[in-house]
């Protein structure tokens, strides 16, 4: 398998962005905004954010570090979203698909880790720094898109989503159930189970209370795909499986990518 970078000639030296930054960095205590008043979205004229269903996922970029890519939910051309030499992982799209939150850093044990929030409409980026030595396990959004939840090696944290002030704080006990729901891959609408690694034998299972049923014996890295389906990876393939009767399909991209993995889905204006 080719795990080398998948650059398409747009990447400059030092991992510079291939699209112009029109204004300097805007720094606010505790966070950073990239292009506060005018960067271009990496998906401009490529994917209609908020109008069509699409997927953001991780694949190998420069130096085999993870970069983010996006592809229409029906498959096709994958578009590179981030262009850095720092590992990026665990993308989580906001409920309306306009912002993707993801972990940045951690390829090396000593590397600082943060959670970035990239606006896919205007290209603005905000960074939320995590305590030193913290590993990110999962990122999720509140149902109304006003708050992000971050599961880490030292506990769960929350922060307000833009345009609120993203001040990181531990999730209080009174909000633990809300955080658990936001960080889970829920199945159905209303939810009747969650997609989890099977307790015994590997693969992916649907768990309801204490019972489990196998979704796929080889599946991993599940993601919610609307209220009537679930998606997951089988090796490097992204598979969409209906929760009821229907055809299992693969999301195909038109060029080879290095080790596709870890995805998030935005349904567009009407959940499909």
Domains in the chain: boundaries: 13-185+225-240+252-266
Q: Which 3 state secondary structure label does DSSP give 225? A: strand
Q: Where does residue 133 fall: left (phi above 0), alpha (psi -120 to 50 degrees), or beta otherwise?
A: left
Please state, in angstroms and as integers, the Cα–Cα distance from residue 91 to each residue in 27, 68, 87, 139, 179, following that order: 23, 8, 12, 7, 17
Q: Which 3 state secondary structure label does DSSP give 13? A: helix
Would you state the pLDDT for residue 108?
61
Surface-to-core class of residue 251, CB atoms within 10 Å of its CB (0-12 exposed, 13-18 middle, 19+ buried): buried
Would you state the pLDDT for residue 39?
62
Would you state the pLDDT for residue 111?
66
Backbone angles phi, psi at 171, to 5 degrees: -70, 120
Would you state the pLDDT for residue 132?
79
Would you state the pLDDT for residue 17?
30
- Low-confidence residues in the chain, pLDDT < 70: 1-39, 106-111, 270-272
Would you state the pLDDT for residue 164?
87
Predicted model pTM: 0.83
Backbone angles phi, psi at 200, to 5 degrees: -130, 135
Please state, in angstroms and as integers, the Cα–Cα distance from residue 108 to each residue in 63, 64, 139, 165, 173, following that order: 13, 12, 20, 29, 32
Would you state the pLDDT for residue 270?
53
Would you state the pLDDT for residue 268?
83
Surface-to-core class of residue 27, CB atoms within 10 Å of its CB (0-12 exposed, 13-18 middle, 19+ buried): exposed
Gap between the Cα atoms of 8 and 43, Å rounded: 15
Helix (H) or strand (E) holding 224: strand 220-225
Would you state the pLDDT for residue 215?
95
């Amino acid at each position: 398998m080719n795990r080398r970078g998948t650059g398409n000639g747009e990447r400059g030296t030092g991992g510079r962005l291939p699209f112009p930054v029109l204004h300097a960095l805007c720094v606010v205590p505790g966070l950073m905004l990239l292009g506060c008043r005018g960067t271009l979205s990496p998906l401009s004229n490529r994917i209609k954010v908020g109008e069509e269903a699409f997927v953001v996922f991780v694949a190998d970029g420069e130096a085999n570090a993870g970069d983010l890519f996006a592809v229409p939910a029906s498959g096709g051309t994958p578009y590179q979203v981030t262009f850095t030499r720092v590992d990026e992982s665990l993308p989580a799209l906001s409920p309306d698909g306009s912002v993707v939150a993801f972990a940045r850093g951690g390829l090396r044990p000593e590397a600082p880790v943060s959670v970035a929030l990239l606006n896919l409409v205007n290209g603005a980026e905000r960074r939320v720094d995590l305590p030193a030595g913290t590993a990110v396990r999962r990122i999720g959004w509140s149902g109304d898109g006003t708050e992000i939840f971050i599961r880490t090696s030292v506990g769960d944290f929350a922060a307000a989503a833009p345009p609120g002030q993203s001040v990181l704080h531990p999730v209080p006990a009174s909000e633990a159930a809300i955080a658990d729901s936001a960080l889970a891959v829920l199945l159905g609408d209303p939810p009747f189970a969650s997609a989890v690694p099977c307790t015994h034998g590997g693969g992916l299972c649907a768990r309801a209370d204490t019972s489990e049923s196998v979704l796929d014996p080889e599946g991993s890295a599940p993601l919610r795909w609307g209220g009537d389906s679930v998606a997951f990876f089988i090796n490097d393939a992204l598979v969409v499986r209906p929760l009821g009767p229907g055809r299992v399909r693969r999301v195909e991209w038109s060029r080879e990518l290095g080790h596709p993995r870890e995805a998030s889905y935005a349904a567009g204006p009407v959940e499909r």
